[in-house]
Amino acid sequence: MHSKNTLTEKKQLRRKRIVAVTLYAACLLLMGCAIYQCSVLFIHCGRDFRFTRLLDARYEQIVLMMLEMILAIAGIVGLSTKRTPIYFLILAALVCTVMICHFTDVLRGCLYLYNFPGNFKNIGDSMLNLYENYDQPLTKAKVDRIHHCNKCCGVNGTDDKAVKRGIYLLPSCCPDSTVPCTASNAYKIGCAKPLLAADHRLLKFQLVSIVSVVSEFYIYRLFLTFFVV
């Protein structure tokens, strides 16, 4: 009877070790996904990629990615130092919260890309809509950021009527928002091609987001199953 119990304990210990190794891998994968997504967000100069009322949709994304990295590091520390079940219970609750937020964010991203797919026509239409509402402070800030970040002007270039104000162009069509801004000192390329390239990067971003959500669910489930229950 004693040897049978010992054998069962050994199996459970071996199983826990295997789970711990896979959890290490899942935490490292989650960190890698978060770092990649942050790198994409920091260089993103395109249009909005989420339904948001913020000036820049990246702000909420960067906060979410930072939380992912913190939780992944906390998981690795907990596994390395063999923390108590209460530690993993709290960590599982936090991972679950971030996972729900991230899953909701993935749905928002999919809906946005479905309604506004990345092609020249949709990019052109969205930019023209921004130019029409340029007098609004939030819209002006978004257009100025797109111009300066991509070093571009208009949808197809400075000949676009949408960026003209009389004989001059929008100030952000020129480096350092030079006033008056003319075609001679303005950015020469249109914004359609850079924005399309940015949209293609966002498709990869979306796929990595799905991998992150799956990793979070795996981490959450195993924390509860093997370290708490």
pLDDT at 95: 92
By C-alpha distance, which of 47, 206, 189 is closest to 125? Answer: 47
Dihedral angle of Cα 113, 106, 207, 152, to the nearest 10 degrees: 40
pLDDT at 70: 92
pLDDT at 116: 67
* pLDDT tens track, the chain, 229 positions: 455 556 666 776 777 777 788 888 999 999 999 998 888 887 777 666 665 555 566 777 888 889 999 999 998 888 888 788 888 888 899 999 999 988 988 888 778 777 766 677 888 888 888 888 888 888 888 888 888 888 998 888 888 888 888 888 888 899 887 778 888 888 988 888 888 888 777 778 888 989 999 999 998 988 887 665 5
pLDDT at 168: 86
Total-model pTM: 0.74
pLDDT at 216: 92
In a 3-state reduction of DSSP, which class is residue 188?
A: coil
In a 3-state reduction of DSSP, which class is residue 206?
A: helix
pLDDT at 20: 80
pLDDT at 159: 86
Q: What is the DSSP letter of 154?
A: S
Q: What is the DSSP letter of 116?
A: S
Give the helix/strand (H/E) hosting 184. none
In a 3-state reduction of DSSP, which class is residue 164?
A: strand
What are 62's two structure tokens? 């960067």
Is there a contact between 101 and 213 (Cβ–Cβ < 8 Å)?
A: no
d(CA 45, CA 60) in angstroms, rounded, equals: 16
